Amino acid sequence: MQRKLFCCAIWAMSALAWALGVAAADSPDKPVRMIVGFPAGSGVDILARLAGQKLAETYGQQFVIDNRPGAGSNIAANLAAKAAPDGYTIFLGTVANAMLFAISSSAKRLRCRTCVNNSPYKASM
């Protein structure tokens, strides 16, 4: 359980670091969508809501949490992969999603648009 929470925290920090990088250029001028692959009330959802609240306070723009549970959060990952590459969509997933991206054809859609660690298989966009 602690390992899962730790992994979720790492993903949340990755999303925060991405958002900080985007905000350094310009402040968001429309709401940012954070897609979470877990149901409302789960640990990942709570982390996303806390991160979204802090980001909203920092940048003065709304961060909308979009819960899309199911299929091991692959439904949410697919939705994030098909999102417009405008920098206003963040996917908050797990290590399992990152591994799936590494071996699937969906990885081509999730090219590293804004990299925190220069990993070619970045799950947060």
pLDDT of residue 26: 65
Q: What is the mean pLDDT of residues 56-77?
A: 90
Q: What is the mean pLDDT of residues 103-115?
A: 52
> Across-strand partners of 34?
65, 90
Q: Which structural domains are found in the chain, ordered by start?
A: 2-108 (3.40.190.150)
Rounded to 5°, angle at Cα 123 from 87 and 45: 90
- The string of DSSP letters for 9-51 reads HHHHHHHHHHHHHHHHH---SSPEEEEESS-TTSHHHHHHHHH
Q: What is the mean pLDDT of residues 7-31?
A: 65
